[in-house]
Structure 1
């Protein structure tokens, strides 16, 4: 990020000129000082080039042509550009930038691991704190192997804070994250990584360089305060599920169980249903996956598989159960403030329904839980479905 002294200079409309660096003024570009740099974490991380004939003027011209507001010369022959200073680059003594430019012996061009930074007067990008119903929540660590938000959005016209939050809202997500200047990720949380300093989310949006869009392995996160938000993806104590009809008010709860519908050697397939004579009753929530088990035969455990809109949650029991698939989570109860939490799926708790199964004769008229029921399903008529919340009942 830009130093406090640099920001003060912008506010006063004055250039922040470092110690006596020998140079020629390069058009509107003025020296901001000598900063630390390294090959593994660049202080200016945008475009770059190297030339044995490097000058301050050739570097600022290159960065200006690329639309950048900061230019930096280093080691006599290297040029770097960006829209903002990147962490952990810090202002240091001008004496450290003591190497002559390869193309102009009267000018200094940084040194090894030190970079002379010039600015053209364009205000640096900012982190937008609020966009519509979305509020900035912080800069979080992220990685390719452990994504904090599971769903990447492809956005026509490019990624900005506005376009990313809009795309996430359209997908039904409560959390939006921007990364590396051009990536948009959506989900409903909760985030499990550590909160990072805002300085680490200092990569300008490629599609709008007046805004920041996260950083390398750093997610700039926004939360829709009007949306449903996951409170937890893990509940370590066992619970049961009750279906609570949305209407009429105060309708009796309907206990749910996991019912085996098909068994082949060493494998059983199950669905979530209101049928009472079932094997799997107690459930755990483990990193977004449901793990039901039998209270009478605890050696048996089943695991959730992916659930699609319009289908019942499906489970599989094997001799060695697979890792459960999410994304289930616990959410606040919209009917009873501070009441028992309810089960969410894909960040929604209001799409559950109980539907009469018309495709089975044994047992007759089995009532199954369905996520986001729709017309044309061979297992139920959508007109028979009753909207419910799935209440988490602690044991």
Structure 2
């Protein structure tokens, strides 16, 4: 598939700086692009720099050119900065603000305090590819080293590029890839929940391919492959319990809630069950050929199967003497939140569509819903809270800090 792309930055071609006391020179093939704001805490050109008491425009251009950079900037008379792209904090200013003579040539301007004369050598500026194979650009997101939005870092031989990062994530079964700080690749199974930033905030060129952007400091250039979530297995014969793990943990209370299957309605020879934090007859689950099967250790005569689930509704289980073939289809996937954590439960090839939704028709009861929809009669989509289902060991409910039950919608 051909790559489509957009320019994140467009340098205005301002030409000569105008009639000033000192001449801000063009140095072929480098041309002056204008006077830009700059600060010591957020550089407009942030990739490399040096200070020289004999600074000239030519010496700065030579330094940046030798480093393979396409932009060079002089500031405060004796400072030089380089980059592959303008950082988003820099804005074009009046040429009259860049009025300080270069320390090494008084006939040239070298910016001023907090103002930068920017030169460009004509090399195409980096872009954000909008498509890479089956991957689609999803945006620029904030990130933190203490709370990673995509928790699965990758080590890539040959360097990090958009192509190499998305390929590495796809090979590991992830559907989301993120590039950060020019040289880092992260993977996950759901889009970040952090702030969506302007594209221009992800303005660090990939070190291994300076024609592309790879995020920025604490900023992720994120790609998503809608077809990329890969099941690890349709069968998980070892007994497990499900835990609802919140994508965004609540400010108070636990970050995860243990779940068990519990009967809620019984008629002659047939019972229906839901997932709840309350203990019940069923003490664990297994996964067999895509079907989720609740198990009752003390009463193995109960034969229970999972029924089909459609988007917007909730999983229901039926117990009967001759149960139907368990369907879902359910499968296990890699943990999107903790790289070494237990696998998660997916339905119809997606592990990232589970949510908790207050049931407006059941006294505000909180229900588990698969892929909430708009205009549902039992909940409001905007009030739903995203979660993953973690396959964990059996919980001791007597030690659980949870004080509420999670019910599966059964209408």
Match in the other structure for 1:196: 197
The reply to whether residue 209 of structure 1 matches residue 229 of structure 2 is no
Match in the other structure for 1:141: 142
Sort the Cα spacing of 1:341 and 1:253 in 2 relative to 1 into closer, same or farther, 3 A.
Answer: farther
Match in the other structure for 1:225: 226
SS class of match (2:96): helix
Q: Supply the distance in 2 between the matched residues of 1:326 and 1:253 (Cα, whole angstroms).
A: 31
Q: Supply the distance in 1 between the matched residues of 2:344 and 2:18 (Cα, whole angstroms).
A: 56
Sort the Cα spacing of 1:99 and 1:327 in 2 relative to 1 into closer, same or farther, 3 A.
Answer: farther
| TM-score normalised by structure 1 residue count | 0.62
SS class of match (2:65): helix
Summarize the alignment of residues 151-190 of structure 1 with structure 2, pairs less than 5 Å apart: 151-190=152-191
Q: CA RMSD in A?
A: 4.1
Q: Is contact 2:177–2:188 with CA below 8 Å preserved after alignment?
A: yes
Sort the Cα spacing of 1:127 and 1:190 in 2 relative to 1 into closer, same or farther, 3 A.
Answer: closer
Match in the other structure for 2:38: 37
Summarize the alignment of residues 234-383 of structure 1 with structure 2, pairs less than 5 Å apart: 240=260, 274-276=294-296, 333-334=348-349, 341=370
Q: Supply the distance in 2 between the matched residues of 1:50 and 1:5 (Cα, whole angstroms).
A: 25
Q: Is contact 2:69–2:83 with CA below 8 Å preserved after alignment?
A: yes
The reply to whether residue 19 of structure 1 matches residue 18 of structure 2 is yes
The unaligned stretches of length 5 or more in structure 2 are 1-6, 232-244, 251-256, 263-270, 287-293, 299-331, 355-367, 372-386, 395-406
Cα drift, residue 198 of structure 1: 0.5
Match in the other structure for 1:393: 408
Deviations 1:199-250 (A, max 9, x none): 11111100000101111111000001112399973699996559xxxxxxxx
Q: Supply the distance in 2 between the matched residues of 1:328 and 1:141 (Cα, whole angstroms).
A: 26
Q: Is contact 2:344–2:388 with CA below 8 Å preserved after alignment?
A: no
Q: Supply the distance in 1 between the matched residues of 2:73 and 2:217 (Cα, whole angstroms).
A: 20
Q: Supply the distance in 2 between the matched residues of 1:161 and 1:128 (Cα, whole angstroms).
A: 8
Instruction: Kindly tell me the number of residue pairs found equivalent between the two proteins.
Output: 284
Match in the other structure for 1:74: 75
SS class of match (1:60): helix
SS class of match (2:127): coil
Match in the other structure for 1:107: 108
Q: Supply the distance in 2 between the matched residues of 1:81 and 1:106 (Cα, whole angstroms).
A: 22
Q: Supply the distance in 1 between the matched residues of 2:8 and 2:228 (Cα, whole angstroms).
A: 34
The unaligned stretches of length 5 or more in structure 1 are 10-14, 243-251, 261-269, 279-308, 314-324, 353-367, 370-391
Q: Supply the distance in 2 between the matched residues of 1:120 and 1:170 (Cα, whole angstroms).
A: 38
